[in-house]
Amino acid sequence: MKMTGAQAILEVLHREKVDTLFGIPGGVVIPLFDALYGDKRFNMVITKHEQGAIHAADGYARSSGKTGVCVVTSGPGATNIVTGLATAYMDSIPVVALTGQVPTALIGNDAFQEADTTGITRPVTKHSFIIKDPAELLIILKQAFYVARTGRPGPVVVDLPRDVTVSELDFEYPEEIKIPGYEPKVKGNARQIKRVMEAIGESKRPVLYAGGGIITSGASEELKAFVKKTGIPVTLTLMGMGGFPGNEPEFLGMLGMHGTKAANYAVDKCDLLIAIGSRFDDRVTGKLSMFAPNAKFIHIDIDPASISKNVVIDIPVVGDAKHILREMLKYAKALDIKKWLKEIEDWKKSHPLTYEDNDGFLHPQYVIEQLYRVTEGNAIITTEVGQNQMWAAQFFKYIRPRQFITSGGLGTMGYGLPAAIGAQLANPEATVIDIAGDGSIQMNIQELATITQNQLPIKVAILNNGYLGMVRQWQEFFFDKRYSATCLKRDKRCPEVCCNPGPQCPPYVPDFVKLAESYFAVGMRIQKKEDVEGALKEAIRVDKPVIMDFIVCPEENVTPMVPAGAPIHTMISSKEDAEKYLLA
């Protein structure tokens, strides 16, 4: 069957069960967009910035379990997706980015809108391909999707010179693919699994520490069954939220820098830490030499390069979490750890997540608690990055996988709004809410136009404190309240030095309500606690995009907090705590 390269690309996408694409056209990808013209197999979502396209494809992938796809042009189109590729790479999200490239004869000649896309993206992708021969097009596309979704998933770039997309070729698409040297291991070693179960049986203070790999492998039910059968308490990373229901008694909450005290104390005091689909990153471990100092470490992960990378592992098991947990369940039995569970329960009761709620301010934690209550915990939550993200992780109880969509490893501000587009398109019947900060939301706010034009009823809850809040918090705790460059109200009228927010401050720019209306969305401003519930109910009732501007306490902090480089049992909750820590 003869067809052009552009037509062949669309046929491949269809066979790979892709139905939604995100991107922006440009000169060298006109043939591909021309082939898309009138093709009803695909929903081509045109964003307002290429970064919006890659984040939307990422959000689509995270919320659906499918591979996200974006299409952009050469040069600046391709370079504009680099941040999104790095975001997906750090969090192991399957995305295929189709980037236009100048004709092969012009590559290396500094042609108009030429960039070394494969060279630029190689460090932040699982693999980058450039196709210089039309005969290679089909096999490389097959490899791209296979690499993106198998093993430890990740983003893949396919760079498409214009002449490849207009050349004619014979369409013969391979049904299966094998790549020499790339054979992700799924089944865990039986002897190692036996060692794992022996160590679990001998432990008196075990803790399960699960990450995003639980969600990627679809192992949430197996994890829950294992926890219920053994009684072992479980803590989750930011990327693992929803991998175990947040309303179950065995759940300790998130661990790490802004984790719960119960989770951090349990990990610090455990004698066996069973890590599944997680990578012992610095936000979890704190000071490595003092991380779980009395514990034996088990690490189950599909990526052998992650094992013993940060923490030396006693019993490694390489393979897919779902498969390995199923094997572990065959030998699982209830453990006699009542004393340990009683100690953990005491920590939970003594150190709950809390906040001041009687000082006249509207508090962001209250907004999220009400959001959880009003939606009955069923909404899909995307987040921006910063304090809003941590409060969303702490105060919304995620009850299922793929419900919490956030940028973890890279911490990309501007992620949440375009990710909500992908999540809403993947789940058209769901309530999708972006919990945002007033700083982060502005980094891709142009995608409000994409939301309106595609008639997506996405809700945005801006926790507006007038600051780049997380940086301001660090300045308060560790830099004597020198709020350098973090006040978002600051203008030429302000004094040279200021750390006292109040009614004397200039008005906030922009007016989010008017901005929402300019994008044909509904705008609301909420300043009082008693108005929160009604605003949330009205926003969810309206079948339109809604921007809710919650004016919250300007100097609210995310607590508890582990100072950078401190052991995770060292948690502070105030500037005074920080001063004591620094003096010690």
Domain boundary among 350, 374, 393: 350
Q: Higher pLDDT residue, 150 or 503?
A: 150
Are 373 and 456 in a shared domain? yes
Are 64 and 129 in a shared domain? yes
Are 101 and 226 in a shared domain? no
Render pLDDT for 530-558 as a digit per residue (tens, 0 to 9). Answer: 999 999 999 999 999 999 999 999 999 99
- Nearest-5° angle of CA 456, CA 85, CA 235? 80
Q: What number is the average pLDDT over the span 360-374?
A: 97
Between CA 511 and CA 366 the distance in angstroms is 23
Render pLDDT for 512-530 as a digit per residue (tens, 0 to 9). Answer: 999 999 999 999 999 999 9
Are 340 and 439 in a shared domain? no
Supply the CATH number for residue 264's domain: 3.40.50.1220
Spatial CA neighbour of 160 closest among 26, 40, 14, 15: 26
Residue 79: partners with Cβ closer than 8 Å, 6 or more residues away: 115, 117, 120
Are 16 and 133 in a shared domain? yes
pTM of the entire structure?
0.97
157 beta partners: 97, 128
Describe the strand order of the beta sheet including 68-72 as a list of residue ranges: 43-46, 20-23, 68-72, 95-101, 155-161, 127-130
State which residues form the domain around 458. 364-466+508-551
Q: Which residue has the tokens 């969303």?
A: 392
Q: What number is the average pLDDT over the span 9-26?
A: 98
- Nearest-5° angle of CA 221, CA 222, CA 223? 90
Spatial CA neighbour of 22 closest among 62, 49, 51, 54: 54
- Angle, to 10 degrees, between the axis of helix 321-331 and the axis of helix 220-230? 20
* Mean pLDDT rounded to a whole number for the chain: 97
Are 212 and 345 in a shared domain? yes
Are 259 and 230 in a shared domain? yes
Secondary structure in 3-state letters for 301-349 = ECCHHHCCCCCCCCEEEECCHHHHHHHHHHHCCCCCCHHHHHHHHHHHH
Question: At 148, is the secondary structure helix, strand, or coil?
Answer: helix
Structural domains in the chain (count) = 3
Are 235 and 344 in a shared domain? yes
Between CA 105 and CA 163 the distance in angstroms is 9
State the distance between the two ends of the chain, measured CA to CA, in whole angstroms: 74
Domain boundary among 320, 350, 380: 350
Spatial CA neighbour of 4 closest among 26, 37, 34: 34
Are 162 and 206 in a shared domain? no
Domain boundary among 350, 384, 402: 350
Residue 221: partners with Cβ closer than 8 Å, 6 or more residues away: none
Render pLDDT for 463-480 as a digit per residue (tens, 0 to 9). Answer: 999 999 999 999 999 999
Helix intervals (H) in 4-156: 5-15, 30-36, 50-64, 76-79, 82-90, 117-121, 137-149
Supply the CATH number for residue 21's domain: 3.40.50.970
Which conformational region is residue 93 in: left (phi greater than 0), alpha (psi within -120 to 50 degrees), or beta?
beta
Burial class of residue 312, CB neighbours in 10 A (0-12, 13-18, 19+): exposed
User: CA distances (Å), 17 to each of 46, 174, 189, 489, 507, in order?
Assistant: 20, 15, 33, 47, 49
pLDDT at position 501 is 87
Are 132 and 104 in contact by the 8 Å Cβ rule? The answer is yes
pLDDT at position 405 is 98
Q: Is the pLDDT confidence value at 503 over 90?
A: no
Are 373 and 438 in a shared domain? yes
Domain assignment present for 528 = yes
Are 130 and 273 in a shared domain? no
Question: At 483, is the secondary structure helix, strand, or coil?
Answer: coil
